[in-house]
Structure 1
């Protein structure tokens, strides 16, 4: 399993060197965007709207837009210093709570924690203490350029770190539009709804569920593939070396070819002209 971060967990005087691994994987079907004309993948370029030119990575700077159209440029080195100061604290457990006290709306993403070199015994100690107490640890850490609030809990003998949102990151439910106030319901309506809930109540088993839409999309794509409905990008015409050489030679010949001089029209003698004029008269 790929390691995406190395650090340590600290609670009290106990320090546990750990590795962080992604616990989930997005299985959604991803599509590419092609040019309908030639079926080539579309490139997305970063273009400056003022200069009307493509901007390279080394020409970009970070900036914070504190008001519309007003920016404060922030240097990467300045951010790195702040990040290093915060990372010195690693994963610091600040308190222990019951997981039932945390509303699921706060949970963000899950990561597995494994012991790093020399941390096996301390890792086991924290795991057993969490399981025995029935509590979870609330921790703070800097991860991916952001200070994260996290929950440490035990899942199948592995310590899991669940990043959770800060309160100001969760939108107020009262701002949701068109939510009805408590309405008067008949006892019969409520009893019927509760009966339906009871009939559908079961012990949660995640293995019973699967992404039917994803399976249908993949089956549909496989049907197109086996039916030879496959498109390939049209290759860009590449001139051969011979063509390039001939073009270069012809251009050189054309460039060095002497220009044809236009001969000036012969001037007529004045005497001859006057003689012809008298004859005609």
Structure 2
């Protein structure tokens, strides 16, 4: 694993240097889109809807659309926002672990001690275990301030980003507001059914069948030779025409450039304006 960033857990006068790692990874096979006729890759271009030109990233700003008006936000505008730039994981309070609803958990990160002596790290980990508490923290990641939960996972400190309170929707369904009578016999039968499925959770027992079958399908096609040369699926390289949003073939552009240069050779004393 490679650390995302290094920083420190801080509470009171205590400072615990740590390295931060992503605790999870996506195992899905990456698929892209191709033309069903010839297998050529489908490209997406950043084209302006007003002038029709393809726009490079250095000329792209962000904007908010409220339905009637659009507010453009430049990099200078965004730099004025109070985004944390420190590398501190600031503890704001310690709460009973059972008060955290799992619906609030977002992304998970492992924290590795980043000092010659891991004593402060071990002390904080042991304290959280002994008190059955979770530290609520503020931290910044990818230019956004975040709320987080610092807790123990096995023998490692884990940081989990939390959703803000107003990001969790309230579940209100009319059918649940009506009183529903459940008889003792129905509850007994339902409990018996639950008991028949009772087990201890072992995540290693479960696997992603879709991804496994997808991998088998791809391997089978490769083995049968049912595949295209990857380089050919990209086709000819394309460049945006300087005068607008149309795309022309690179070889054609080179040919026209050579012809233009030949026609304006030094032997001719007349100058030509660039259009």
Q: Give per-residue Cα distances to partners, 1:151-196, cap 9 Å, x unaligned.
A: 111112111001111110001111x576574422332222111111
Deviation at 1:38, TM superposition (A): 2.3
SS of alignment partner, residue 220 of structure 2: helix
Distance 2:28 2:43 in 1: 22
Number of the residue aligned with 1:209: 206
Deviation at 1:26, TM superposition (A): 1.0
SS of alignment partner, residue 190 of structure 1: helix
| Structure with the largest fraction of helix | 1
Deviation at 1:61, TM superposition (A): 1.5
1:181-220 counterparts in 2 under 5 A?
Answer: 181-220=178-217
Deviation at 1:120, TM superposition (A): 2.1
Q: Give per-residue Cα distances to partners, 1:111-146, cap 9 Å, x unaligned.
A: 111122356222111111111211111111121222
1:164 aligns with 2:162: yes
Which structure 1 residue ranges, 5 or more long, are not aligned?
253-281
Check conservation: 1:87, 1:141, Cα contact below 8 A: no
Number of the residue aligned with 1:15: 15
Question: 1:4 and 1:63, CA in 2 relative to 1: closer, same or farther beyond 3 A?
Answer: same
Number of the residue aligned with 2:223: 226
Deviation at 1:16, TM superposition (A): 1.4
1:131 aligns with 2:106: no
Deviation at 1:40, TM superposition (A): 1.9
Please tell me whether Structure 1 or Structure 2 has the larger radius of gyration of its CA atoms. 1
1:53-64 counterparts in 2 under 5 A?
Answer: 53-64=53-64
TM-score (norm 1): 0.77
Q: Give per-residue Cα distances to partners, 1:1-49, cap 9 Å, x unaligned.
A: 1111222111111011211110001112321101223212211111111
Distance 1:50 1:78 in 2: 23
Distance 1:42 1:34 in 2: 5
Check conservation: 2:93, 2:137, Cα contact below 8 A: yes
Distance 1:228 1:177 in 2: 56
Deviation at 1:76, TM superposition (A): 2.1
Which structure 2 residue ranges, 5 or more long, are not aligned?
237-248, 264-275
Number of the residue aligned with 1:112: 110
Question: 1:178 and 1:224, CA in 2 relative to 1: closer, same or farther beyond 3 A?
Answer: farther
SS of alignment partner, residue 2 of structure 2: coil
Distance 2:206 2:61 in 1: 45
Number of the residue aligned with 1:258: none
Number of the residue aligned with 1:101: 99
Check conservation: 1:2, 1:21, Cα contact below 8 A: yes
Deviation at 1:89, TM superposition (A): 7.3
SS of alignment partner, residue 87 of structure 1: coil
